[in-house]
Amino acid sequence: MVSNPDPLDALQRTLAAEHAAVWGYGMVGAVLVGQQRAAARAADTAHRDQRDLLADLVRARGARPRTAEPAYEVPFPVRSAADGELLAGQLEDRTAAAWHYLVGAADTADLRRTAVAGLTAAAVRATRWRWIVTPDNPTVPFPGQ
């Protein structure tokens, strides 16, 4: 028998993913210019908003929100705009995976709606970044998996 994931643990995991995305977008924004930098700034703002929402949801359950790490490991050096665009897509894929986990762990309709909205937003941003990096294959069949 498979047990359901703990909603509070899923909230904390998703919060951790949002912390990492905010940190990562600092690196992304440093190498982008023009419209891509504006897109990175908008994504950073969205992740900060999601982070704050998740922290509030954790507090509402009587727990202390997970704090951000001082730094996060990135999968490759980010030295160019192409690197930044690739990393941005990966940040969105990682947050989509966390939101997907939260969808399955949600124990209320409101939390499930919030998780679906977070998953959808991350999947859309990931597709936009992939459109730049790999225009012939910008989508994935099941975002977050």
Summarised one tens digit per residue, pLDDT across range 76-88 is: 999 999 999 999 9
Residue 143 lies in a domain: no
Domain tally, the chain: 1
Contacts made by residues 103-107, CB under 8 angstroms, sequence distance 24+: 103/144, 104/4, 104/5, 104/10, 105/4, 105/5, 105/6, 105/7, 105/9, 105/10, 106/7, 106/10, 107/7
Residue 74 lies in a domain: yes
Residue 16 lies in a domain: yes
Residue 142 lies in a domain: no
In terms of Cα–Cα distance, which of 86, 99, 89 is closest to 51?
99
pLDDT in tens, the chain (145 residues): 446 789 999 999 999 999 999 999 999 999 999 999 999 999 999 999 999 999 999 999 999 999 999 999 999 999 999 999 999 999 999 999 999 999 999 999 999 999 999 999 999 999 999 898 776 766 665 566 5
Whether residue 23 contacts residue 71, with contact meaning beta carbons closer than 8 Å, is answered with: yes
Residue 138 lies in a domain: no
Residue 48 lies in a domain: yes
Instruction: Output the six-digit token pair for 101.
Output: 């986990």
Residue 43 lies in a domain: yes
CATH number for the domain spanning 28: value is 1.20.1260.10
Whether residue 19 contacts residue 48, with contact meaning beta carbons closer than 8 Å, is answered with: no
Domain that holds residue 74: 7-133
Summarised one tens digit per residue, pLDDT across range 119-137 is: 999 999 999 998 987 767 6
End-to-end Cα separation, the chain, in angstroms: 22
Residue 70 lies in a domain: yes
Whether residue 139 contacts residue 64, with contact meaning beta carbons closer than 8 Å, is answered with: no
